[in-house]
Amino acid sequence: SDLVLRSELMATFHNEPVGGHSRVSLTASKEAVKLLQFHLKRAHGRMKNQADRHKTDKEFDEGTWVYLKLQPYRQTTKCKSEVKEMGNFPICDEAGLMFVEPLAVLDKRMHKQGKKDVVYVLIQWANGSGADATWNQLKN
């Protein structure tokens, strides 16, 4: 009776996850992971195809004005979005440079970079407001 009980316990616990030797649960979990990966790849492909359907390549002549809708990036503690429309901007030239001109220098400050003192100026750009001004390094 003791041998029968021992063999039943060994057979029961040897084939379950409690005993640590169950190949059934390991293969089932591997199959579940494969199935999840398959569905994830398929969903990713559908999302990519949907996004690619809405993309269009447009070409404009140099000097043509287009309307851009941008999300301004400012590193702040509160992520409140401000005005998205930045105004009309000209098309870039062959080198990819825009024809936006600086309007005024609003402020000036010095920073130490290594052993050198570097001067930065706050520039207000044409077609922009004072809040859209950027700090740029002054080059001699």
Q: Band the pLDDT of 93: cuts 50, 70, 90.
A: low
Separation of alpha carbons 34 and 27, rounded Å: 10
DSSP state letters, 65-133: EEEEE-------SS------EEEEEEPP-TTS---PPEEEEEEEEEEEETTEEEEEEEEEETT--GGG-
* Residue 52, pLDDT score: 92
| pLDDT mean over 8-27 | 64
Range ranked top by mean pLDDT from 13-17, 39-43, 82-86, 135-139 = 39-43
Torsion angle of alpha carbons 83, 84, 87, 91, nearest 10°? 160
The pLDDT value given to residue 126: 76
The pLDDT of residue 94: 64
pLDDT of residue 70: 77
Which has the minimum average pLDDT: 16-20, 54-58, 101-105, 116-120? 16-20
Block residue for tokens 């084939």: 15
Distance from C-alpha of 96 to C-alpha of 17, rounded to nearest angstrom: 62
> How is the chain split into domains, by residue range?
2-53, 65-137
Give the pLDDT of residue 40. 96
pLDDT at 18 > cutoff 60:
no
pTM for the whole thing? 0.33
